[in-house]
Amino acid sequence: MKIIKTLSLLLLLLTAASLEIKAETIPAEITPAAVSETAGEHELPSAIMVLPFIILLGMIATGPLFYHHFWEKNYPKIAIVLGLITASYYLFSLGDTHVLLHTGAEYISFIALLASLFVASGSILIKVDKKSTPMLNTGLLLFGSVIANVIGTTGASMLLIRPFIMINRDRIKAYHVIFFIFMVSNIGGALTPIGDPPLFLGFLRGVSFFWFVEHIWYIWLPTILLVAVIFYFLDSKDKSGSDTEKEYTGKIEIKGLKNLFYLGAILIAVFIDPAVMPWVPSLAPLPFGIREIIQLSIVYLAYKTADREILKDNEFDFEPIKEVAYLFVGIFATMIPALQLIAHEAKVFGESLDAGIFYWSTGLLSGFLDNAPTFLNFFSAEMGKFSLDVNKVEDVRIFQDLHPLYLQAISVAAVFFGAMTYIGNGPNFMVKSICERAGIKMPSFFAYMVKYSIPILIPIFTVVWLVFYFGKG
């Protein structure tokens, strides 16, 4: 229940901060996008203030490897203290409460969606009594990649990671999980605004719901198939566990179906936003809306009404979401200066940036920063290049119709490159944690990149760049 206490505390702090802001200075709706709105109106932060973010990233990477005991005990304090350093700088040195409020709103939105999907899907048990084969595994990863567009990468990851482990219990290796993270937790969710948070933020700014599937499917399909083929090849070469004599019934059993109702409610709640449905009341100056209230209520309801036996079978624990909640409160706070500086630079050099540069910049930063605000800042910079305003829906519509290449480049990059590190996207960390609880030794932060994401994904993403963006725009 510590997580609930933490969230309550955070809500109180943010509410208190928000009350200091004069009502007329608050945008009608509090969306993460407003971070970039306000960024330009305030003094830029000192470059030295990127340091807490670099320290936090460095510690996330090295802590579990070199000072595990200290890290396990102290990571919540470290994340909060580093976050507070940045928050204090904005509060007392720059006098900028807007950006803190908007980042707080963005964090609450992020954690409400993640936590609700985590709890609702954690009470669903899928049993697949089939023999592990490369074909079955590849099929499951492809299935996960498709449904990630319906229930989000988080929902799909939480729903499928345990059956994926169980199917492969006699032969599972780290590469199985890594490809699961690549496909289901990231690349898969590039087709709809529900799939991944950056696209959802684009949708909230005015991009049509079906714009993404219409303009991304022909990049998504070959990419996902290429990753699937590589996985199939690797899995076919791995003969371990193939000598098992166990008999399989071929049955697929699903328990806890009532939780599909909660999953549905979470997804419907995603659209309950004043930007999408004008009749929805804004709760400004509070840093959350009706959507977050519904999603956090579902966290409580889904947990309280869950079948205890299913929770036991799933070994349900709040620890993975708690870990994400703590680490990302630090990441969200400390990355504010980095994002503002990036947004500033992108606007200064916007004229000389083509779609390829936007693709690589958004992608590489999305691997290490949260991909949602990264996307928004580059979205704003791209539109600025064409003298359009990201805060005007009509301008966004013009931009999506006249310059689809640019919007496509940052959408693809923000989602795909989330697979580059454990911190690139929320579900990555949760999948890692669930696998470690199942006894699967996962690679370290560096090993993940050096052994898997750099050699496998960077060549694929380079091909995407060469085919779709090189010398264009």
Partner 1 sequence: MIKKIDEVINENVNGLHYGRRLLLPFVADILKIVIDDDILTDFNFEKSRADYNKEEYFTEINFMDYDNLQTVVSEFEQIKMIVVEEGENIFDFSTHRKIGLQVLDDHKIIIKEVDEDIPFIE
Distance in angstroms (rounded) separating the CA atoms of residues 179 and 1: 32
Q: Give whichever of 301 and 311 is closer to partner 1, judged by the CB atom.
A: 311
> Does residue 307 interact with partner 1 by CB under 8 A?
no
Task: Identify the H or E element spanning 128.
Answer: strand 125-128
Q: Which stretch binds partner 1 (CB under 8 A): 94-102, 158-166, 230-238, 388-396?
A: 158-166
Contact pick of 119, 165, 190, 353 for partner 1 (by CB under 8 A):
165
Task: Establish how many alpha carbons lie within 13 A of residue 235's alpha carbon, considering only the half-sphere containing its beta carbon.
Answer: 25
Q: Give whichever of 75 and 288 is closer to partner 1, judged by the CB atom.
A: 75
Contacts of partner 1 in 317-356 (CB under 8 A): 317-320
For 99-130, give one letter per residue: b (16+ CB within 10 A) or e: bbbbbbbbbbbbbbbbbbbbbbbbbbbbebee
Contacting residues for 450 by C-beta, under 8 A, at least 6 apart: none
Residue at 389: amino acid letter: D
CB of 166 to partner 1, least distance (A): 6
CB of 319 to partner 1, least distance (A): 7
Q: Of 176, 170, 177, nearest to 242 (Cα)?
A: 170
Q: Which stretch binds partner 1 (CB under 8 A): 42-50, 80-88, 101-109, 309-317?
A: 309-317
Distance in angstroms (rounded) separating the CA atoms of residues 113 and 294: 10
Contact 412, 198 (CB under 8 A): no
Q: Is 423 exposed, middle or buried (0-12, 13-18, 19+ CB in 10 A)?
A: buried
CB of 75 to partner 1, least distance (A): 12
Q: Give whichever of 127 and 397 is closer to partner 1, judged by the CB atom.
A: 127
Q: Give whichever of 127 and 451 is closer to partner 1, judged by the CB atom.
A: 127
Q: Give whichever of 42 and 173 is closer to partner 1, judged by the CB atom.
A: 173
CB of 137 to partner 1, least distance (A): 15
CB of 333 to partner 1, least distance (A): 24
Q: Give whichever of 212 and 429 is closer to partner 1, judged by the CB atom.
A: 429
Contact 207, 390 (CB under 8 A): no
CB of 258 to partner 1, least distance (A): 18
State whether residue 431 is helix, strand or coil: helix
Contact 290, 284 (CB under 8 A): no
Q: For residue 356, give both structure tokens.
A: 């390829």
What is the C-alpha radius of gyration for the chain, rounded to an integer number of angstroms? Answer: 21
Tell me phi and psi for residue 113, to 5 degrees: -65, -45
Contacts of partner 1 in 43-82 (CB under 8 A): 68-69, 72-73
Distance in angstroms (rounded) separating the CA atoms of residues 186 and 178: 11
Handedness of CA 145, 151, 154, 157 (dihedral sign): negative
The size of the interface with partner 1 (CB under 8 A), counted in residues, is 29
> Does residue 172 interact with partner 1 by CB under 8 A?
yes
Q: Of 277, 405, 102, 385, nearest to 395 (Cα)?
A: 385
Q: Give whichever of 4 and 226 is closer to partner 1, judged by the CB atom.
A: 4
CB of 185 to partner 1, least distance (A): 17
Q: Which stretch binds partner 1 (CB under 8 A): 4-12, 290-298, 306-314, 383-391?
A: 306-314
Contact pick of 236, 312, 446, 455 for partner 1 (by CB under 8 A):
312
CB of 311 to partner 1, least distance (A): 5
Task: Establish how many alpha carbons lie within 13 A of residue 41's alpha carbon, considering only the half-sphere containing its beta carbon.
Answer: 11
Task: Establish how many alpha carbons lie within 13 A of residue 324's alpha carbon, considering only the half-sphere containing its beta carbon.
Answer: 28
Distance in angstroms (rounded) separating the CA atoms of residues 409 and 366: 13
Q: Give whichever of 373 and 426 is closer to partner 1, judged by the CB atom.
A: 426
Q: Give whichever of 39 and 327 is closer to partner 1, judged by the CB atom.
A: 327
Q: Give whichever of 38 and 74 is closer to partner 1, judged by the CB atom.
A: 74
> Does residue 314 interact with partner 1 by CB under 8 A?
yes
> Does residue 166 interact with partner 1 by CB under 8 A?
yes
Contacts of partner 1 in 397-456 (CB under 8 A): 433, 436-441
Q: Give whichever of 29 and 436 is closer to partner 1, judged by the CB atom.
A: 436
> Does residue 315 interact with partner 1 by CB under 8 A?
yes
CB of 296 to partner 1, least distance (A): 20
State whether residue 318 is helix, strand or coil: coil
The owner of tokens 């997580």 is: 3
CB of 318 to partner 1, least distance (A): 7
Q: Give whichever of 93 and 244 is closer to partner 1, judged by the CB atom.
A: 244
Q: Where along the sequence are the contacts to partner 1 (CB under 8 A)?
A: 68-69, 72-73, 125, 127, 162, 165-166, 169, 172, 308, 311-320, 433, 436-441
